[in-house]
């Protein structure tokens, strides 16, 4: 028998648990610890609410969760109810699958003005993350600026642009749906510090912008390199660029504009007590493809700025940390003896949800090589005793199923669920 603790119940955590089952069969016990009373991390609070098919992967994690040798230990915070050194004393391996839930800071003057928010907070707000339920972003318009040219920037722009009808079938939380209903935002400017070929947007997600009810993408054909250069791109990326070229050619007129402003680097945010404009510097690409400012600046009016420039893993005291990369310092997942990192906590915030599956399997191979069965570590019973002694209110997977049933029962017509947005409400729903 091996005892393994996984910290974090998102994709990386559940794929690691699944890999443990495949590797060790019945000779393993896996405890998945999460600070929230609800599982699935990024699937629940990161993936866009109008992308339900992507969220469907949680059914696979549920199958793993419902086996006897995997447990969900929710509502337990590392550093509060239990520490990493304590877990290392109880388990043969401890795997950090904590993701990258903090925003990379936007380090320009004015970034702390009210009305400027990071994507972790903004996405968390419309997805019902308890940390961000009170964000109340200013949607008075008419301008919003979204910084970054990745898929998160696309998600944010699309959510800001959709009509109420277009949220049918989504699980966007009620507070965000109501706020967006009265939004006056009519111009959403996506700032990309480099050019069309340097976007990090996938074709399916980019294509959706061309099919919105009241919003149309606006792209300047002059920003593109010669079309022949597209042939050198990897096929998926080429498809994305083709979408952009089609947007540039289409000239569709709709009331809401999603403007792709390329070669546009935000250098300051200004306003009297709140954001009013973003100062942008025109860029060119240098020989290595990096953005270099030209000195030419202009202002983009905005009452809301959402910075979608990537994420960081929060450090944990005593765990080696790579501050430059914003993740745990590790050698292919090995952090310290007995301590491992997987997923975004290991490699940074890149790749798709599926990328975490091979990651989970690779880390379990290392655990198999580094550990012996029946080491004498006590695992579950010892953790339970420790948490009980500290008065922790542990949420089990069965409890989560009751919370989920209550969320499903509270759903708007046609919606899959209405999420609880506070920890108290989640805990309260266990009794329903
Ligand atoms: P990302 O793909 O790394 O994009 C970050 C963007 O921010 C890049 O365009 C980057 O530009 C820009 N940026 C970084 N620092 C900046 C600065 N100081 N000023 C201006 N711009 C700056 O990150 P993401 O959008 O957060 O996505 C994270 C991961 O999740 C990605 O792998 C993404 O594909 C995935 N994701 C997938 C989906 C989906 O499949 N539906 C949805 C959401 C997220 P440079 O390129 O110039 O650095």
Q: Which of 291, 307, 323 is the last residue of a domain?
A: 307
Is the CB of 261 inside a 6 Å radius of any atom of ligand 1? no
Ligand 1 atom nearest residue 153's Cα: 25
Residue 41 has pLDDT above 70, yes or no: yes
Is the CB of 371 inside a 6 Å radius of any atom of ligand 1? no
Residue 163 has pLDDT above 80, yes or no: yes
Q: Are residues 144 and 88 in the same domain?
A: no
For 328-351, give the secondary structure using H, E and C: ECCECCEEECCEEECCHHHHCCCC
Average pLDDT in the 344-367 region? 95
Is the CB of 212 inside a 6 Å radius of any atom of ligand 1? no
The total number of structural domains in the chain stands at 2
Is the CB of 154 inside a 6 Å radius of any atom of ligand 1? no
Q: Are residues 70 and 205 in the same domain?
A: no
What domain range is 263 assigned to?
103-307
Q: CA geometry: angle at 197 spanning 194 and 202, to 5°?
A: 105
In 3-state terms, what secondary structure has residue 85? helix
In this prediction, residue 258 has a pLDDT band, given cuts at 50, 70 and 90, of very high
Q: 347 CA to middle of ligand 1, Å?
A: 15
Burial (CB count within 10 angstroms: exposed 0-12, middle 13-18, buried 19+), residue 239:
middle
Shortest CA distance to 9 belongs to which of 56, 54, 61? Answer: 61
Residue 383 has pLDDT above 60, yes or no: yes
Residue 432 has pLDDT above 70, yes or no: no
Residues 6+ apart with CB under 8 A from 412: 174, 418
CA terminus-to-terminus distance, the chain:
36
Q: 311 CA to middle of ligand 1, Å?
A: 9
Q: Are residues 126 and 29 in the same domain?
A: no
Q: Are residues 328 and 288 in the same domain?
A: no
pLDDT digits (tens, 9 = 90+) for 109-157: 999 999 999 999 999 999 999 999 999 999 998 999 999 999 999 999 9
pLDDT digits (tens, 9 = 90+) for 47-101: 999 999 999 999 999 999 999 999 999 999 999 999 999 999 999 999 999 999 9
Average pLDDT in the 383-406 region? 97
Residue 22's CATH number = 3.40.50.720
Question: Do 27 and 105 touch, CB atoms closer than 8 A?
Answer: no
CA torsion sign for 14, 16, 21, 26 is: negative
What distance in Å separates the CA atoms of residue 383 and residue 402, rounded to the nearest whole number? Answer: 24
Q: 397 CA to middle of ligand 1, Å?
A: 33
Question: Do 157 and 304 touch, CB atoms closer than 8 A?
Answer: no
The pTM (predicted TM-score) of the whole model is: 0.97
Q: 150 CA to middle of ligand 1, Å?
A: 4
Q: What is the pLDDT of residue 333?
A: 98
Residue 263's CATH number = 3.50.50.60
Q: Where are the beta strands (DSSP E) in 219-262?
A: 256-261
- Per the domain annotation, does 149 fall within a domain? yes
What distance in Å separates the CA atoms of residue 221 and residue 99, rounded to the nearest whole number? Answer: 37
Is the CB of 283 inside a 6 Å radius of any atom of ligand 1? no
Q: Are residues 320 and 353 in the same domain?
A: yes
In 3-state terms, what secondary structure has residue 208? helix
Q: Are residues 197 and 286 in the same domain?
A: yes
Q: What is the pLDDT of residue 80?
A: 95
Q: Are residues 203 and 290 in the same domain?
A: yes
Q: Are residues 44 and 127 in the same domain?
A: no
Average pLDDT in the 206-234 region? 97
What distance in Å separates the CA atoms of residue 146 and residue 154, rounded to the nearest whole number? Answer: 9
CA torsion sign for 257, 412, 56, 15 is: positive
Q: 307 CA to middle of ligand 1, Å?
A: 10
Q: What is the pLDDT of residue 251?
A: 83
């Amino acid at each position: 028998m091996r005892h393994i603790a996984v910290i974090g119940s998102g994709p990386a955590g559940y794929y690691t648990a699944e890999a443990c089952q495949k590797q060790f069969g019945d000779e393993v016990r896996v405890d998945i610890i999460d600070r929230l009373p609800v599982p699935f991390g990024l699937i629940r609070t990161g993936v866009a609410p109008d992308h339900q098919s992507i969220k469907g992967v949680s059914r696979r994690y549920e199958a793993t969760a419902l086996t006897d040798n995997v447990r969900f230990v929710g509502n337990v915070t590392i550093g509060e109810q239990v520490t990493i050194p304590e877990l290392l004393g109880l388990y043969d391996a401890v795997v950090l699958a904590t993701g990258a839930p903090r925003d990379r800071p936007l380090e320009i003057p004015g970034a702390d003005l009210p009305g400027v928010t990071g994507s972790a907070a903004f996405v968390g707000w419309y997805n019902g993350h308890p940390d961000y339920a009170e964000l109340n972003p200013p949607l008075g318009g008419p301008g919003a600026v979204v910084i970054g040219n990745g898929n998160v920037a696309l998600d944010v722009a699309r959510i800001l642009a959709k009509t109420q009808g277009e949220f049918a079938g989504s699980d966007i939380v009620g507070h965000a749906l109501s706020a967006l209903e009265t939004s006056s935002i009519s111009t959403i400017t996506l700032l990309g510090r480099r050019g069309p070929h340097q976007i990090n947007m996938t074709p399916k997600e980019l294509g959706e912008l061309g099919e919105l009810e009241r919003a149309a993408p606006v792209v300047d054909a002059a920003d593109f390199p010669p079309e022949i250069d597209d042939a050198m791109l990897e096929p998926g990326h080429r498809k994305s660029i083709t979408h952009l070229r089609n947007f540039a050619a289409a000239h569709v007129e709709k009331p809401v504009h999603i403007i792709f402003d390329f070669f546009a680097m935000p250098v300051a945010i200004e306003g009297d007590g709140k954001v009013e404009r973003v100062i942008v510097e025109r860029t060119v690409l240098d020989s290595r493809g990096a953005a270099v400012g030209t000195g030419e600046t202009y202002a983009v009016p905005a009452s809301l700025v959402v910075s979608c420039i990537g994420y960081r893993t929060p450090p944990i005291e005593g765990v080696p940390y790579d501050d430059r990369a914003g993740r745990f310092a590790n050698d292919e997942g090995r952090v310290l003896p007995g301590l491992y990192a997987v997923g975004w906590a290991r490699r940074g915030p890149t790749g798709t949800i599926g990328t975490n599956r091979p990651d989970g399997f690779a880390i379990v191979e290392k655990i198999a090589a580094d550990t012996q069965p029946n080491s004498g570590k006590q695992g579950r019973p010892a953790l339970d005793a420790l948490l009980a002694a500290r008065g922790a209110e542990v949420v089990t997977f069965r409890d989560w199923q009751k919370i989920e049933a209550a969320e499903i029962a509270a759903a708007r017509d046609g919606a899959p669920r209405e999420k609880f947005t506070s920890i108290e409400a989640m805990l309260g729903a266990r009794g329903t």
